[in-house]
Amino acid sequence: MPRPDRIDLERVERLLTERLAGPLPGPPAQWRFAPRPALKGWAPELTPDTARQAAALILIYPGAEGPAVPLTVRRHDLPQHAGQVSLPGGRLDPGEVAREGALREAQEEIGIDPAAVRIIGELSSLWVIVSNFVVRPFVGIADACPEFRPAPREVAELLESPVHSLYDPARVGWTRQRRQGVVIDYPYVELAGHQVWGATAMILGEFAALFEPGFGPPEGPTSPLASP
């Protein structure tokens, strides 16, 4: 008889395969996790001609608490997004197919074997204005827990987040930071003891909406916000 976590993984794969084949949650789900106020002229669905192309991987595998997703804490001395929690991913090579780039970057950053991953679909692209990348996120399944080998030059820590944590409303909140002298409110999801915000939260916000369509940060008298 299959292990319980394998049964759960199969159920998650069936659900995601079906929902990724239909209309995606798209920009409305991404906007829920966008900083407020957003930078002028930015919208997650834009694809400027000047933007560089990147890909990321949401890898689902049997973890310690059932289906899980790996996340990385980027080193604090990296030139972009230093110290942030991220999905494995990065810039595409010239002429590279996006899904192949997502697998290559995951192999380089966390040591996964691309041959052990099957891609089941793609989420909406996301323009990350601060680094001028348009990121294409792919969803993949691994039947066994990979033998992770984080790249020491890029990854300070490898995190494991159960899939069910990604759409847990008790883990969502707001944090406040100062950017170029302006106070910015950031929605976040708390995963593996870290606050995940910014582009990663926007990508995972759309992913979570495949399970819970209305998933997002709390809105009301205590939130900083109004709809974009």
Rounded to two decimals, the pTM is 0.92
Amino acid at 64: A
Minimal CA–CA distance to 59: which of 1, 124, 112, 126? 112
> Is residue 142 classed exposed, middle or buried when 0-12, 13-18 and 19+ CB atoms within 10 A define those classes?
middle
The rounded distance, in Å, linking the Cα atoms of 204 and 33 is: 9
Is the Cβ–Cβ distance between 202 and 123 less than 8 Å? Answer: no
Note the pLDDT of residue 219: 75
Structure tokens at 150: 């984080």
pLDDT digits (tens, 9 = 90+) for 142-165: 999 999 999 988 899 999 999 999
Domains in the chain, start-ordered, CATH in brackets? 4-41+48-209 (3.90.79.10)
pLDDT digits (tens, 9 = 90+) for 3-58: 455 569 999 999 999 999 999 999 999 999 999 999 899 999 999 999 999 999 99
The rounded distance, in Å, linking the Cα atoms of 190 and 208 is: 13
180: left (phi over 0), alpha (psi -120 to 50) or beta: left
pLDDT digits (tens, 9 = 90+) for 128-139: 998 999 999 999
Find how far residue 115's CA is from the centre of its chain. 21
CB neighbours (10 Å) of residue 34? 24
Is the Cβ–Cβ distance between 128 and 30 less than 8 Å? Answer: no
